[in-house]
Chains A and B, each alone.
Chain A
Amino acid sequence: MTIPDTSATPVPRDAEPIKAIPVRHPGRWVAIAVIAVLVAMFVHLLVTNSAFQWKFMFQNMFTPPVMRGLVGTVTITVLAMIIGVVLGVIVAVARLSNNPILRGTSWAYTWFFRAVPRYVLLIVMGNLGILWPRLEIGVPFDTYLGKLFGLENAHWRLFGISTRELLVGFWVGVLGLALSEAAYMAEIVRAGMMSVDPGQDEAATALGMSRGQALRRVVLPQAMRVIIPPTGNETIAMLKDTSLLIAVPVTAELFFQLSAIGNRTFQVFPMLVAAILWYLFLVSILLVGQYFLEKRFSRGYGRADKAKMKLEGLAAEHGANPELP
Chain B
Amino acid sequence: MSDQARHRAPDDDAEPVVRLGGEVAEPVVRAGGDAAEPMVRAENVHKAFGHVKVLRGIDVTVPRGNVCVVLGPSGSGKSTFLRCINHLEKIDAGRIWVDGKLVGYQQKGDKLYELHDKAVAAQRREIGMVFQRFNLFPHMCALENVMEAPTMVKGQSKAESRRRGIELLDRVGLADKAGNYPSQLSGGQQQRVAIARALAMDPKLMLFDEPTSALDPELVGDVLDAMKDLARSGMTMVVVTHEIGFAREVGDQLIFMDDGVVIESGAPREVLANPQHPRTRDFLSKVL
Contacts and interface: CB of A to CB of B under 8 A. Distances in A.
Interface of A: 197, 199-200, 202-211, 213, 217-218, 221-222, 300, 306, 309-310, 312-314, 316-317
B197 A207 contact: yes
Contact of A316 (B131, B138, B177, B201): B177
Given A208-B121, A300-B181, A309-B181, A203 B137 contact: yes
Interface in B91-132: 117-118, 121-122, 124-125, 127-129, 131
Contacts of A205: 88, 121, 124
A306 to B, nearest CB: 6
B88 A202 contact: yes
Contacts, number: 85
Interface string B147-162: 0110011000000000
A120 B229 CA distance: 68
Nearest to A305: B183
Contacts of B129: 203, 206
Q: Which 5 A-B pairs have the closest CB atoms?
A: A208-B125, A203-B135, A207-B149, A206-B129, A199-B135
Contact of A208 (B122, B177, B180, B194): B122
Contacts of A213: 152-153
B139 interface: yes
Given A206-B127, A208-B122, A209-B149, 19 more contacts: A199-B131, A199-B135, A202-B88, A203-B135, A203-B194, A206-B124, A206-B128, A207-B149, A208-B201, A209-B121, A209-B153, A210-B118, A217-B148, A217-B152, A309-B181, A313-B180, A313-B189, A317-B186, A317-B188
Interface of B: 86, 88, 117-118, 121-122, 124-125, 127-129, 131, 133, 135-139, 148-149, 152-153, 177, 180-181, 183-186, 188-189, 194, 197-198, 201, 219
A204 B135 CA distance: 9
A208 B133 contact: no
A209 B198 CA distance: 12
Contact of B135 (A200, A306, A310, A317): A200
A200 B134 CA distance: 9
B150 to A, nearest CB: 9
Given A313-B186, A317-B186, A317-B188, A207 B135 contact: no
5 contacts: A205-B88, A207-B148, A209-B121, A309-B184, A313-B180
A201 to B, nearest CB: 9
Given A200-B137, A300-B181, A210 B117 contact: yes
Contact of A206 (B86, B137, B177): B86
Contacts of A204: 137
Nearest to A310: B183
Contact of B184 (A202, A217, A313): A313
